[in-house]
């Protein structure tokens, strides 16, 4: 509603959210090729409970978890592609940010991941090693 009234000019959201809010027709453009993060739903148990499970049960959880994660990524990727197509069909131009704007975004977000890791470290959780492992996995 705020976009339709001109109260706000835009927002930061997933393609699927833009489609669900019926933004094609209200917005003229969106970005592509950016990664501002996303959300995920997980089912978790405490480390103490995990360690109490028999090894064979943990192994099954690990195997199934890996399989479900890969399938979820495939499904999400297909959904993103479909949502991008819906936006384009609705007249939304998806544009890649110029290098100068990309640099501005990178500078603005440069410390976010480290701040997240330090916050976890301060709570005796492995924020810094997890961040390093994540970045290494992206290479």
In 3D, which of 16, 11, 13, 138 has the Cα closest to residue 76?
16
pLDDT tens for each residue of 101-124: 999 998 998 899 999 999 999 999
In 3D, which of 9, 11, 16, 10 has the Cα closest to residue 87?
16
CB atoms within 10 A of CB 11: 13
> Does residue 31 sit in the same domain as residue 69?
yes
pLDDT tens for each residue of 42-100: 888 999 999 999 999 999 999 999 999 999 989 988 999 999 999 999 999 999 999 99
Is the separation of the CB atoms in 10 and 21 below 8 Å?
Answer: no
Structural domains counted in the chain: 2
> Does residue 80 sit in the same domain as residue 118?
no
Domain housing 10: 2-96
CB atoms within 10 A of CB 127: 19
Q: What is the pLDDT of residue 132?
A: 97
| Rounded-to-integer distance, Cα 124 and Cα 120, Å | 7
> Does residue 6 sit in the same domain as residue 58?
yes
> Does residue 89 sit in the same domain as residue 131?
no
pTM to 2 decimals? 0.68
pLDDT tens for each residue of 28-52: 999 998 877 777 778 889 999 999 9
């Amino acid at each position: 509603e705020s976009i339709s009234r001109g109260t706000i000019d835009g927002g930061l959201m997933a393609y699927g959210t833009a489609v669900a809010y019926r933004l094609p027709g209200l917005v003229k453009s969106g970005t592509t090729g950016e990664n501002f993060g996303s959300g995920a739903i997980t089912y978790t148990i405490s480390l103490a409970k995990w360690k109490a499970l028999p090894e064979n049960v943990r192994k099954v959880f690990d195997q199934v978890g890996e399989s479900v994660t890969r399938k979820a990524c495939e499904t999400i990727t297909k959904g993103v592609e479909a949502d991008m197509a819906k936006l384009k069909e609705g007249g939304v131009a998806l544009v890649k940010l110029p290098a100068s704007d990309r640099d501005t975004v990178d500078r603005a977000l440069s410390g976010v991941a480290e701040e997240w890791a330090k916050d976890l470290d301060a709570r005796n959780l492995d924020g810094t090693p997890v961040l390093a492992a994540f970045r290494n996995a992206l290479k």
